[in-house]
Chain A
């Protein structure tokens, strides 16, 4: 429950470790540093109610393990893990650091359980992850709650509504952080600092630099507090970065989703089973190219390129039960024309697009669980799987918009989670973890459950190394 009083902070005090952020990576760092004997303060920009950043929206993590257990159905070893990573990143990774991360992830499950997290067997509808990914019972918010409870028990001082706005540092040496705590400006000093404040996906102005005005129509799937302030300040003060600053992980989601924090429920898995049109009621890409989880990220981009950053997925009664239910009901109509009307599309154009598509479908066996090869002929663009005619009323439409998960631009780090400066030297007392460093390993693409792995692995390393660094100084 919400703490009734704030921890007392003496502005003249110098903390051992100052952790910026309040998600998975920050919490793992704070717990580890505190267990190593450090006096830790953790600064979370959000109020208590929304604590936990994007981590509160997660459901699982992927870690290397030698054998099956109560919630993982089989072993998952380094080489297979790394191969999976190569596949999604198309080689855009740092092999040494990636393999290091994978090895360090071995059996993090036990550590997580010892710190309050509980796992359950893979959720229904996600069975393909049952061997590789461990699911949190109650999801990411339950995980975050458990970690906060552990932090409190360990005596970590936690400040909510505490946004770091500036840093006092020179030559890669951190001295103090300027914190806006509920409107009061604090200057907090510490011997070491751990940056774990996530990506900058919630800063639409920043995104506009790469995406132009289109970014105004983006939906941020996670926390509105991940605005990248710390990343920007550190970069200005000489930190080196890695990852394409213009790229983000962006998927097609329900256009009716809240602007921020809509989380997992706004995803739409219906696209492969119907057709997808833009505001002109024209198709623009092969909807049946691959299984949806392998393609939903390119669809974020595709939709972002359409007029008004909007598209519509259209299916018929045959397909309505084939995908995970979503949060907003489909727009339903008895005829294509009526559906077009309800979606705000030109009825004649939509009808002719569907007639053209239907005419190009071919007979054959449909199988939603396999690449069934049921493709259109002579249609541009082709639909190469699951191409059944859209002919059975009622017809359904879902509006789509791009939804941003995270950005790729990251701080460069080494295996000790030390932040690297532009001259290639590691900072003496600044460490970084989580989304803020994921670009070191995940240069492109995404692998389900790996964001939490990076946060857990480097959060723990940062916590441990910061405590070591105290002993040295």
Chain B
């Protein structure tokens, strides 16, 4: 990693530590205040603790053009992007973060083409575009064993490499194993994640799209996060139906998996479109421009997964079901394959940083102050 970025992060944190006016906004400042000097590992940890709310940019009396030229959100975003690269597993895939937008787009197109073309070749165009309906119709397009093997493989791959990445971060930031295993610290971190505490800023939200405080980003992130969870739940329920109960997809509109999936899909669509809009409108000064392609490609991929899923639901008994299914599954596959190398990692790394933060704070202030 370029030592210039670390030097800059160290410089800004040293200034902030002498000031501390922003300690009410987020977790970074209380973490900073436990330290007098910042090691490389401290800085990487704090960079992943930052939720990019930008409160500390607009509130900073030293923001440019002041000669101290302090831009905390941008500097931490830059360092964060470097940690994504550094901690990627396997290490030979680091480079994916360099041209992230292009790579994610290419993998997505490849996955969609692969599924569509192989099915087309297998069925011939007349069968592929024949309208199908009823239980098992999805498997007529892509056979069940193929689906199972393909998706288990990418799912397992994503989980393993995300886990390895998180371990890399934990080690590089010198986190202690006991802390990571502690149920109390994990519980606090889970709670912080579930309510997206640090997107509340100090209570009035983040500074998006401009310098005024607003809950927009938090709401849109909530739609995305819970939408994603609902879709995930829908998949798990569907798998159980299929394996344990022997009921084959597609399911009726008012069945549990479809209800969960529809709700999740709509929520995810609202959330991703909302986040995209904020990204487009936002003041670019506090942002790190080189991270845009990564952010945008991830949001677009998530959004297209959910839109294709919803379209599939609507058109599943028509002749375009086959192609929609292939597109949708191709997108899902791309999402999983790129997960450890896309913006998705922010969730995993931030979670680890929050566990560490919970541990540090509970140890430093044993009696929890009333909020």
Contacts and interface: CB of A to CB of B under 8 A. Distances in A.
A and B pair up: yes
Contact of B22 (A1, A139, A329): A139
Interface stretch (A261-269, A337-345, A353-361): A261-269
A118 B22 contact: no
B330 interface: no
Given A123-B23, A327-B14, A327-B18, A138 B56 contact: yes
Interface in B189-205: 202-204
A308 interface: no
Contacts, number: 87
B24 interface: yes
B59 A139 contact: yes
Contacts of A249: none
Given A1-B210, A118-B204, A138 B20 contact: no
B59 A142 contact: yes
Contact of A139 (B61, B66, B203): B61
Interface stretch (A237-245, A318-326, A441-449): A318-326
Contacts of A120: 23-24, 202
A57 B61 CA distance: 7
Given A118-B203, A138-B24, A138-B56, A264 B36 contact: no
A324 B18 contact: yes
B25 A325 contact: no
Interface string B26-45: 00000001001000000000
Contacts of B246: none
B15 A140 contact: no
Interface string A73-92: 00000000000000000000
Contacts of B17: 325
A364 B356 CA distance: 40
A145 B65 contact: no
A120 B59 CA distance: 14
A121 B365 CA distance: 15
A124 interface: yes
Interface in A31-87: 49-50, 56-57, 59
A-side interface size class: 20 to 34
Contacts of B55: 138, 142
A171 B279 CA distance: 57
Interface string A344-371: 0000000000000000000000000000
Contact of B36 (A57, A261, A321): A321
Interface string A130-155: 00000111111110010001000000
B202 A118 contact: yes
A58 to B, nearest CB: 9
Nearest to B211: A1
Interface residues of B, number: 32
B61 A141 contact: yes
A293 interface: no
B19 A264 contact: yes
A266 B18 CA distance: 8
Given A141-B60, A145-B211, A265 B24 contact: no
A355 to B, nearest CB: 29
Contacts of B211: 1, 145
A378 interface: no
B63 to A, nearest CB: 8
Nearest to A123: B20
Nearest to A262: B68
A326 B18 CA distance: 5
B283 interface: yes
Interface in B55-78: 55-56, 58-62, 65-68
Contacts of B60: 141
B277 to A, nearest CB: 17
Contacts of A265: 15, 18-19, 62
A324 B35 CA distance: 11
B118 to A, nearest CB: 51
B58 A145 contact: yes
Interface in A93-147: 118, 120-121, 123-125, 135-142, 145
A136 to B, nearest CB: 8
Contacts of A145: 58-59, 211
B65 A49 contact: yes
Interface in A245-279: 258, 261, 263-265, 267
Contact of A138 (B22, B68, B283, B369): B22
Nearest to A60: B21
Nearest to A222: B61
B24 A325 contact: no
Contact of A141 (B23, B59, B283): B59
Given A138-B202, A141-B61, A264 B24 contact: no
Contacts of B283: 1
Interface of A: 1, 49-50, 56-57, 59, 118, 120-121, 123-125, 135-142, 145, 149, 258, 261, 263-265, 267, 321, 324-327, 329
22 contacts: A57-B61, A118-B203, A124-B33, A125-B20, A135-B24, A137-B203, A138-B22, A138-B25, A139-B19, A139-B61, A140-B61, A141-B58, A141-B59, A141-B61, A142-B58, A265-B62, A325-B14, A326-B18, A327-B14, A327-B15, A327-B18, A327-B19
